[in-house]
């Protein structure tokens, strides 16, 4: 772990004019099977009241500004194969396997009931977690994701994630990130790259989710999650962006409303990574559903 990984938080506060002081925070490593660890960032020393799961290619730091604004005990996890977590035994994007490991973390830390937040890949994982451990949840928040995600709609996001295998420099990674996120501030994108990049022994730079060799086994096929969503006994809030590259379609919103007629749909100003485009809006949603 980098000793200075929290040094950029003051920059987050200044950029978003946040007045709350920096809370205590620490990097955790939770054993999931005796051999591997899932890592995360604990905000405040008290047991987490919010647990957050990021999207593919991201890590726990993607929620930094949101959690600075929220000011409540929280745990932002690095999914397996991402950030500081060890690799999944079956591949980088196994929704079923990731859910198994997140459940192990919740059980190991005896967390709950919490607001569970899942963005993109993390949202699909969170649906399975909620299905398996409903007693540990008070509310599920899906950030710009539904079970009906359309690969065509997600093409812009996937094009960025499926880019070069390695880079000459950190600055090259920053430049590519800026090209794919023209509406975001350069400072916020640079912070994201710093938190999400590492240099290999050969001098080349890679994303943290690319640091492991491909797994020999394919991930378990993702099940149809619409029935799981419909059957959940906890309230669910769907939050989506109002512009591209949001991956949530009008048809998916209609499907969500049909299956969860009593639950809320919230539109925020942004694209797919709402915690980056509108972190204060995401914090307001969490404050509302969690009663913070």
Bridge partners (DSSP) of residue 52 are 76, 117
pLDDT of amino acid 82: 93
Q: How far is C-alpha 158 from the chain's CA centre? A: 16
Identify whether 3 is part of a domain: no
Cis check: omega of the bond before 265, within 30 degrees of 0: no
Handedness of CA 129, 198, 179, 276 (dihedral sign): positive
Evaluate whether residue 2 is within a structural domain: no
Q: Is 262 inside any structural domain?
A: yes
Looking at residue 276, its pLDDT comes to 95
| Other Cβ atoms within 10 Å of 207 Cβ, number | 21
Q: Looking at the predicted structure, is the pLDDT value of residue 91 above 70?
A: no
Q: What is the pLDDT of residues 247-279, one digit of tens each?
A: 999 999 999 999 999 999 999 999 999 999 999
Please say whether the beta carbons of 96 and 46 come within 8 A: no
Whether residue 38 is contained in a domain is answered as yes
> What's the domain count of the chain?
1
Q: Could you report the per-residue pLDDT of 94-116, keeping only the tens digit for each? A: 899 999 999 999 999 999 899 99
pLDDT (mean) for 34-48: 94
CATH code (residue 29): 3.40.50.1820
Give yes or no for residue 155 having a pLDDT over 80: no
Owning domain of residue 136: 9-290
Mean pLDDT of 200-222: 80
Cα 73 to the chain's mean position, in Å?
17
The pLDDT mean for the chain works out to 92
Structure tokens at 214: 């491909």
Active site residues: 120, 144, 272
Compute the average pLDDT of residues 189-194.
94
Q: Give the pair of three-digit tokens for residue 30.
A: 């939770």
pTM: 0.94
- pLDDT attached to residue 1: 46
Lowest mean pLDDT among 7-21, 57-71, 152-166, 196-210: 152-166
In a domain, 1, yes or no: no
Is 105 part of any domain?
Answer: yes
Token pair 């200075």 is at which residue?
A: 4
- What is the rounded distance in angstroms from the CA atom of residue 46 to the CA atom of residue 202? 41
Average pLDDT for 155-169: 82
Strands 236-241 and 37-43: unpaired
Beta strand pairing status for 205-207 and 197-199?
antiparallel
pLDDT at 90: 62
Would residue 91 count as lying in a domain? yes
């Amino acid at each position: 772990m980098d000793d200075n990984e929290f040094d950029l938080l003051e920059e987050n506060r200044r950029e978003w004019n946040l007045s709350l002081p920096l809370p205590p925070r620490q990097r955790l490593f939770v054993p999931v099977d005796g051999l591997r660890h899932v890592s995360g960032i604990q905000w405040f020393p008290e047991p987490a009241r919010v647990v957050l799961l990021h999207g593919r290619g991201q890590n726990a730091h993607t929620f930094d500004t949101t959690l600075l604004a929220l000011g409540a005990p929280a745990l932002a996890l690095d999914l397996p194969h991402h950030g500081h977590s060890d690799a999944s035994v079956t591949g980088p994007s196994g929704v079923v396997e990731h859910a198994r490991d997140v459940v192990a973390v919740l059980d190991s830390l005896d967390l709950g009931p919490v607001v569970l937040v899942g963005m993109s890949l993390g949202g699909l994982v969170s649906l399975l977690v909620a299905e398996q451990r409903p007693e540990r949840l008070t509310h599920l928040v899906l950030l710009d994701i539904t079970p009906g995600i359309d690969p065509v709609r997600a093409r812009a996001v996937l094009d960025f994630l499926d880019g070069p295998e390695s880079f000459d420099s950190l600055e090259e990674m920053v430049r590519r990130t800026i090209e794919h996120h023209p509406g975001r501030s350069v400072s916020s994108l640079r912070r994201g790259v710093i938190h999400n990049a590492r240099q290999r022994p050969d001098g080349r730079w890679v994303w943290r989710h690319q640091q492991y060799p491909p797994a020999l086994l394919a991930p378990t096929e993702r099940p149809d999650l619409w029935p799981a969503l419909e059957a959940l006994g906890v309230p669910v809030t769907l939050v989506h962006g109002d512009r591209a590259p949001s991956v949530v379609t009008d048809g998916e919103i209609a499907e969500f409303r049909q299956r969860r007629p009593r639950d809320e749909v919230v539109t925020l100003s942004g694209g797919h990574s709402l915690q980056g485009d509108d972190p204060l809006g995401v914090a307001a949603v969490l404050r509302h559903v969690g009663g913070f």
